[in-house]
Amino acid sequence: MKNRLINLLKLLVSLGLLALLSRLVDWRAAWEVLKAMHWGYLGLAFLLFQVTFLLRSYRWRALLDALDTHVPIPRLLYLYYVGGFFNTFLPSGFGGDAIKMYELGRYSHRPSEAVGTVLVDRLAGIIVLLAMGILAWPFVYRDLPAREATFVLGVSCAGLVASWVLFQRRLVEWLLKFLPKRVGAPLGRLYTAIHTCGTRALWKSLAISVLFNLVLFTMTFVIAIALGQRIPFIYFVAFMPIISLSMLIPSVGALGTREGAYVLLFGLANVPQHVAMAMSLGFYLVNVLTGVIGAVLYAIAAAKGMGVPRGKEAVDGSVDRRARIQ
């Protein structure tokens, strides 16, 4: 019942934001921009997105290897594709992570610590993304209104500081003491699991994240080119951290949250609202096409008896079991 309510909330968030955007953006004009898309460049953007999946697989393996949990790259890549399918087509944005958590139980004798790598994998990407956004800010702030420029910098800095705090073990352990035991105890166990990877593995994952984000920026840049836009590359470096954070807001496939962030941020760079909307929908199209690949791989693996939990109940159950382990 609780999961249904959460999924309903996500659906309402997406529908509400899309309804609001429909009053602010000329959807017909956005559609005309999409119809004029250069499909060759879109194909290039699609291929670059597949490269990000491969890089994320190597980043995750670096963390798992530190726990003596050796999962083949093809299997990790498979999990990312299937996770992409679940996250794109199902209301539960956590579905992809649930699949990874379930799968790790088949390979690891330290399931609690291995589950922690799923979170560290995400965190490594976010930390580098925010850091690169801060580095790009000096090159774009002069072209932005003062208040909005401060907002862009503030969000990136706040996110980076929050990520830094997670790696300050003594500080976090001290802060957890002020939480009720019912909340602090499981958070403490999860925090310990995250830190078992070790410093060397964390640095390796951060290094891979630099390359991953550069490819991601290039992919979004190419989507803009496919739509006939010549926007300086540095804007994608500066804006993608906030766009990525907006996609963490509960919604269905990030619909509504991503589009709103695109319209708001690229509007500051004098990109027409309907064009920014088209750019966001282009990004979503690449996600959908990639999700289709995940669906096909999932169906093939399920037919061979090598898939992951069947159905939503199995996925949700895997999350509950891992939560109890934590």
38, part of any domain: no
Q: What's the domain range around 132?
A: 62-325
Residue 285 lies in a domain: yes
| Nearest of 325, 316, 256 to residue 97 by alpha carbon | 316
Domain count, the chain: 1
pLDDT band of residue 70 (cuts 50, 70, 90) is confident
d(CA 132, CA 153): 11
209 within a domain of the structure (yes/no): yes
Residue 20 has pLDDT above 50, yes or no: yes
Least reliable range by pLDDT among 229-233, 248-252, 281-285, 309-313: 309-313
What residues contact 267, with CB distance under 8 A and at least 6 apart? 273, 276
What are the pLDDT digits (tens) for 220-231? 999 999 999 999
The predicted structure's pLDDT at residue 326: 35
Measured CA to CA, the distance from residue 101 to residue 229 in angstroms comes to: 40
Task: Classify residue 254: in a domain, yes or no.
Answer: yes
The closest of 285, 288, 240 to 266, measured between CA atoms, is 240
Token reading at 209: 């994240």
Mean pLDDT of the region 42-55: 97
Least confident of 149-163, 173-187, 206-220, 233-247: 173-187
Query: Does 283 or 187 have the greater pLDDT score?
Result: 283
Q: What is the residue type of 39?
A: W
Domain contains 3: no
In a domain, 45, yes or no: no
Residue 150: the pLDDT is: 87
Which has more confidence, 313 or 184? 184
pLDDT single digits (tens) 131-140: 898 889 888 8
Q: How confident is the model at residue 325 (pLDDT cuts 50, 70, 90)?
A: very low
Please tell me the distance from the alpha carbon of residue 212 to that of residue 223, in angstroms, as a whole number. Answer: 17
235-258 pLDDT, tens digit per residue, is 999 998 888 888 877 777 777 888
pLDDT, average across residues 154-183:
78
Calculate the CA 57 to chain-centre distance: 14
pLDDT at res. 110: 62
pLDDT (average), residues 282-300: 92
Q: How confident is the model at residue 124 (pLDDT cuts 50, 70, 90)?
A: confident
